[in-house]
Amino acid sequence: MTVQLLKTTVQTYPYRAAIIDEQGSISYSELYQQTQLLTQTLKKSGLNPGMGLGVMGSNSRAFIVSMLAGMACGAIVIPMSHQLKQAEIEAIVKDTQLHAVLDDQSGLKPVNNESTLLSFYSQSLRLTWTEIPVSQQITPFKDAAFIRYTSGTTGSSKGVVLTHESILHRVNNAYHSLGLNSEDNVLWVLPMAFHFLVTILVYIRAGAGIIICKDLLAKTLIDQANLHQATMLYAAPMHFRLLAADNSTMQMPSLKYAISTSSAIPTSIANKFEQRFQIPLIQAYGIIEAGLPLLDNTDAADFKTVGYTAKGFDIAILNDKDEPLKNGITGRLAIKGSGLFDAYLKPWQLAEETMVNGWFLTGDLAQRQEDGRIIICGREKTMINVSGNKAFPEEIEAVLNKHPDIINSHVFGHFHSLMGEIVCADIILKENVDLDVEGILYFCRSQLSTYKVPQRLQSVSQINHTVSGKIKR
């Protein structure tokens, strides 16, 4: 099982600091003990193999332990952000048929049922059961361990299912590609609810230290990096922009690797960061269906690309006829390898049923350079990437179209130098209705996570559709 990663590390590095946060640090031995205790508590509470457990919370040691303990029970864990709105939580619970949610009380109460408080260090975790029968399995896989929604809600988000075996393959691939070891300390800034399998678990596999930052201020990141001798920063373009804009003279001399992921980083930010800290910046390409298939960890890294094919994977650039293209020609990015996802949850579809001649089509457009590096050129899919958070236009349009003043809407992404992309919306208003931007945005905020709320909103007289009635995107 996946928790074996932690057990193996404990046997080798029992006293190595595993997590460093505001509360201090805990060793790998302590992390394992806390995971075992929570596992026993969850089992006594009725969490059995095959059941679904939502783990909802902010970045913390509690989130890590909760995820590990849930999988150790044989349950299928679904990470959930503490920033989710009630409608989003309800959609995940309904679509996934979760049996229970374990949260750290940093967000909304996920389920309106009686809860049990479980003691964890100086805080309490809240375990709440849903109405789903305990005998009902949420996937046909006996070895299923993890489900993650690509956008956080229903509709376009299918729910990516992975088994313990796939997770272990995926983690092992990333471990060898990143080259981490027990001497490394990773400065953690990304949301754990969206980045767990090919980050946290890889660091545990390596015996590295995980430094959880209390906020994302440049000063905090620099101070924490120096205080705890961070050797790697794996972050989104937004974080590198904040650091590049820092006006102090403080450096981060212990930092060896600065890796940008989640979305393409503008050249100007990459250059400014390297000039400011004298640390080369490289990019990595991660995707929930595959893990970390592309990374540039060479001495001659080029941040304009997302790197070379990582260990355990094959990459192809295909045309519309699913034929491989020559170097330098843009086509559809396709992936093969170990650790790929096993199925989509809703509607249920095995991974192999989605493949084309054994290739998983990512929905991204790319080209391969002569030296083998891959450049991402754009996307086929409609997904909007806001600082590493994925938003689907269809979901946001469904909310906008419920507003009493709106007849129809068209949501799309627009390039933004800090966020990667921002959400924009064209709306058609009812006759004789004036545009009330703040009122509409207030309506959206009540039902959508902050990153999904449109940043630009304009009234239009027409939205173009295809012959079949779909919005032209």
Q: Mind listing the pLDDT tens digit for each residue in 267-310? A: 878 899 999 999 989 899 999 999 999 998 766 667 778 999 99
Read off the pLDDT of each residue in 445-458 and give the average, rounded to a whole number. Answer: 94
In which band, very low, low, confident or very high, does the pLDDT at 157 lie, cut at 50, 70 and 90? low
Residue 83 CB coordination number (10 Å): 18
Has residue 27 got a pLDDT over 70?
Answer: yes
| Inside any domain, residue 108 | yes
Please give the Cα distance from 130 to 94 (Å, whole number): 10
Residue of 91, 157, 55 lying closest to 447 (CA atoms): 91
In which band, very low, low, confident or very high, does the pLDDT at 150 lie, cut at 50, 70 and 90? low
Q: What is the CATH number of the domain that holds 444?
A: 3.30.300.30
In which band, very low, low, confident or very high, does the pLDDT at 152 lie, cut at 50, 70 and 90? very low
Q: Mind listing the pLDDT tens digit for each residue in 210-222? A: 999 999 999 999 9
Has residue 161 got a pLDDT over 70?
Answer: yes
pLDDT value, residue 300: 66
pLDDT value, residue 33: 97
pLDDT value, residue 158: 83
Residue of 235, 280, 231, 285 lying closest to 260 (CA atoms): 235
Beta strands 313-318 and 420-429 are unpaired
Read off the pLDDT of each residue in 217-236 and give the average, rounded to a whole number. Answer: 96
Please give the Cα distance from 33 to 20 (Å, whole number): 16
Q: Please state, rounded to an integer, the average pLDDT across all residues of the chain.
A: 91
| Pair 451, 387: CB distance under 8 Å | yes
Residue of 6, 146, 127, 5 lying closest to 56 (CA atoms): 127
Please give the Cα distance from 338 to 173 (Å, whole number): 8
pLDDT value, residue 153: 33
| Inside any domain, residue 161 | yes
pLDDT value, residue 346: 85
**Which residues contact residue 435 at a Cβ distance below 8 angstroms, ignoring those fewer than 6 apart?**
427, 429, 457, 458, 459
Final residue in a domain of this structure, among 165, 194, 217: 165
pLDDT value, residue 330: 87
Read off the pLDDT of each residue in 50-62 and give the average, rounded to a whole number. Answer: 96
pLDDT value, residue 326: 95
| Pair 344, 160: CB distance under 8 Å | yes
| Inside any domain, residue 69 | yes
Q: What is the CATH number of the domain that holds 112?
A: 3.40.50.12780
| Inside any domain, residue 228 | no
Final residue in a domain of this structure, among 165, 200, 230: 165
Scanning 228-341, the segments in alpha helix (DSSP H) are: 237-244, 267-277
| Inside any domain, residue 22 | yes
Please give the Cα distance from 84 to 161 (Å, whole number): 21
Residue of 254, 258, 231, 256 lying closest to 244 (CA atoms): 258
Please give the Cα distance from 357 to 314 (Å, whole number): 13
pLDDT value, residue 468: 37
Q: Mind listing the pLDDT tens digit for each residue in 36-55? A: 999 999 999 999 999 999 99
pLDDT value, residue 470: 58
Residue 131 CB coordination number (10 Å): 9
Counting residues of the chain whose pLDDT is more than 70, the rounded percentage is: 96
pLDDT value, residue 155: 42
Q: Mind listing the pLDDT tens digit for each residue in 351-387? A: 999 999 999 999 888 899 999 999 988 777 777 889 8
Q: Is the peptide bond before 347 cis (omega within 30 degrees of 0)?
A: yes
The amino acid that residue 223 corresponds to is D
Three-class secondary structure of residue 377 per DSSP: strand
Number of independent structural domains in the chain: 2
| Inside any domain, residue 73 | yes
The values of phi and psi at residue 288, to 5°, are: -60, -30
Handedness of CA 93, 96, 101, 103 (dihedral sign): negative
**pTM of the shown model:** 0.84
Where would I find the beta strands (DSSP E) of 253-330?
A: 257-260, 281-287, 291-295, 308-309, 313-318
Final residue in a domain of this structure, among 134, 165, 196: 165
pLDDT value, residue 393: 84
Please give the Cα distance from 265 to 304 (Å, whole number): 8
| Pair 336, 359: CB distance under 8 Å | yes
Read off the pLDDT of each residue in 310-339 and give the average, rounded to a whole number. Answer: 94
| Inside any domain, residue 58 | yes
What single-letter DSSP state applies at residue 461? S
Structural domain span for residue 138: 4-165
Compare 262 and 131 and report the one with higher pLDDT: 131
**DSSP secondary structure letters along 98-138:** -SEEEE-SSS--SSSS-EEEEEETTEEEEEEE-SS-TT--S
Counting residues of the chain whose pLDDT is more than 90, the rounded percentage is: 75
Has residue 165 got a pLDDT over 80?
Answer: yes
The amino acid that residue 351 corresponds to is A
Please give the Cα distance from 295 to 391 (Å, whole number): 24
Taking only Cα atoms into account, the Rg of the chain, rounded to an integer number of angstroms, comes to 22
| Inside any domain, residue 263 | no
Has residue 154 got a pLDDT over 70?
Answer: no
